[in-house]
Amino acid sequence: MNIRTVSTQAFTDQKPGTSGLRKKVKTFQQPHYLENFVQSIFDSLEGYQGQTLVLGGDGRFYNREAIQIILKMAAANGFGRVLVGEKGILSTPALSCIVRKYKAFGGIILSASHNPAGPDEDFGIKYNTDNGGPAPEKITEAIYNRSKTIDAYKILEAEDVNLEKLGSFELGSMTVQVIDSVADYVELMQSLFDFGSIRQLLTSGNFRMCMDSLHAVTGPYAYALFEQCLGAPAGTVHNGKPLEDFGGGHPDPNLVYAHELVDILFGDNPPDFGAASDGDGDRNMILGRNFFVTPSDSLAVLAANAKLVPAYSSGLAGVARSMPTSAAVDRVAVSEGIDCYETPTGWKFFGNLLDAGKVTLCGEESFGTGSDHVREKDGLWAVLFWLNILASRKQSVEEIVREHWKTYGRNYYSRHDYEAVETLEANTLMENLREQLSTMKGKQFGKYQVEYADDFSYTDPVDGSISQNQGIRIGFTDGSRIVFRLSGTGTQGATLRVYLESYEPDSTKHHLDPQQGLAELITLADEIAQIKANTGRDQPTVIT
Ligand code: G1P
Ligand code: ZN
């Protein structure tokens, strides 16, 4: 066995963001760049000798090369076994499921989620711990610190492993097991939902659905679930073949990037239900006939209807949402008498709450919902959850959401993104906001009076760890809110996210378009943060 120790020089920019390290492919292709980061991960872990690692990615450009490098490094560093998805493919929730099911030491996911793929686009790498969830900040910080001083890495000299064929192979003294990318995940889904009723709905002849996988990782999973197990007609899954460049698209399931699906659901004779997922399969968008469900509302509807799903029939332990997510789910929690937690942006903050059994469902406004069945958000799980509700309530998506608003009131909600802003300008804008915070309370802006203004800080109720500077919140006395934060997943300049929310209890006022319903707050956000003046942008790049 030939293990090589390769001398290297540290890179200064390997700080993991909201969800792992994301950079342009060209950055990852620099000599030693990926290797340094992988060795920094291994060097930050203890006790993995002889243990199992799970490895897979969303199939984007550079996935295959990266997998071979990581396999050889895992072998050189002493892992006992690596479970790797066939062709190097594993969706993020499937990897989480497999880590848990096979009690692996951890997992490595290769993905830049919804960011475009291709030689000039993005790549990413993320480490998950043995609970199947993203490594907590103390580990990602250790990885970053190690990456700043690393001077060597270990790699096995060997032929590439054939990932086209299921089976076990020896790589040095480590076993590589090429596993079916889909089977374990499908089995888990079958254990959670009422597949019998969903099958009845999908084969009844008077219900049509359309699932858009956007040429990203969920294609094979969606075919297996909807067309094979649940009997939906062939053609239900659109864009189901994963492509290395995602067909040149932007696999972000929202109204802007999943426009093909939006055109179908808002076109002539639309199907009853439409859904899309993102690059690595953890996000989802839910559409009804001529109807869009905001992710914040979706989380609230799932929570309110959870008892209809076999896995959650005895009720929820609690719910959690990220801070910028609307408070729609909070209202369900109050009515159900369960706890609701507000965490910083990023799935890693839900892990402790789920592990401690404090929450069952959690979600983010960024098209992410999930539960304690894995430790990642899960796009197809959310789609199945909706189908289970539709099968059981026998109402349309729109009827279900409108009834929900009637019961709980409507949280008008929208996110405005200003992408690829100059980093300096974005930082100045945030600094200026921070300086205003201490004098904001009580200030009147038109009909809005500031009730609180702060930079969100979170103390984890399980381990007591504190995460500061998680976004600026300005809350008004009528329950409206504006939140400002900078993205931690972008790879170019800075992305300013502005989150707008207002609460409307009166059901005669639930018919507005959110941009209309939020118009005054939108103007106010610019007045307070001076977005136009600071960034030179007249309008957001993306509105969701
Ligand atoms: C974005 C989303 C966040 C999500 C993350 C990873 O992070 O806003 O909710 O967890 O992607 O999918 P951001 O770019 O805002 O830091
Ligand atoms: Zn994703």
Question: Treating both helix axes as pointing N-terminal to C-terminal, what angle do 33-43 and 137-149 enclose, rounded to 10 degrees?
Answer: 130
Lowest-pLDDT range of 229-233, 294-298, 371-375, 485-489: 485-489
User: How far, CA to CA in Å, does 353 sit from each of 137, 138, 223?
Assistant: 15, 16, 32
Which residues surround ligand 1 with Cβ inside 6 Å?
18-19, 113, 322, 345-347, 364, 366, 368, 487-489, 497
Of the ligands numbered here, which is closest to the C-alpha atom of 488?
1
Residue 181 a catalytic site member:
no
Same domain, 398 and 418: no
- All residues at 6 or more sequence positions from 432 whose CB lies less than 8 Å from its CB, including other chains: 529, 530, 534
Output the pLDDT for position 137: 87
Q: What angle do CA 372, 275, 311 make, to 5 degrees?
A: 25
Q: What is the mean pLDDT of residues 450-472?
A: 94
How many whole angstroms separate alpha carbon 287 and alpha carbon 305? 17
- Show the tokens assigned to 34: 């990926």
Of the ligands numbered here, which is closest to the C-alpha atom of 281?
2
Q: Residue 440: what are its φ and ψ, rounded to 5°?
A: -80, -35
Same domain, 204 and 351: yes
**Is the per-residue pLDDT at 491 higher than 90?**
no
Output the pLDDT for position 310: 98
Same domain, 170 and 79: yes
**Is the per-residue pLDDT at 490 higher than 90?**
no
Same domain, 452 and 400: no
> Considering its fold, how many domains does the chain have in total?
3
Ligand 2 center–CA 524 separation, angstroms: 31
Amino acid identity for residue 208 in this structure: R
**Is the per-residue pLDDT at 379 higher than 80?**
yes
Same domain, 206 and 238: yes
Domain residue limits at 220:
185-408
Q: Which atom of ligand 1 is nearest to the CA of 18?
A: 16
Mark which of 382, 408, 434 sits at the end of a domain. 408
How many whole angstroms separate alpha carbon 34 and alpha carbon 26? 11
Output the pLDDT for position 488: 86
Mark which of 181, 213, 243 sits at the end of a domain. 181
Of the ligands numbered here, which is closest to the C-alpha atom of 364?
1
Amino acid identity for residue 421 in this structure: V
- Residues bordering ligand 2, an ion, CB closer than 5 Å: 113, 278, 280, 282-283
Same domain, 215 and 314: yes
Q: Residue 399: what are its φ and ψ, rounded to 5°?
A: -60, -40
Output the pLDDT for position 19: 83
Q: Report which protein residue has its CA nearest ligand 1's atom 11.
A: 489
Mark which of 181, 206, 233 sits at the end of a domain. 181
Output the pLDDT for position 433: 96
The length of the chain in residues reads 544
Ligand 2 center–CA 114 separation, angstroms: 5
Strands 410-421 and 542-543: antiparallel
CB distance 24 to 117 below 8 Å:
no
Q: What is the mean pLDDT of residues 52-64?
A: 97
Same domain, 64 and 93: yes
Same domain, 201 and 143: no
* Annotated catalytic residue within 40, 91, 96, 113: 113
The percentage of the chain sitting over the pLDDT mark of 70, rounded to a whole number, equals 100
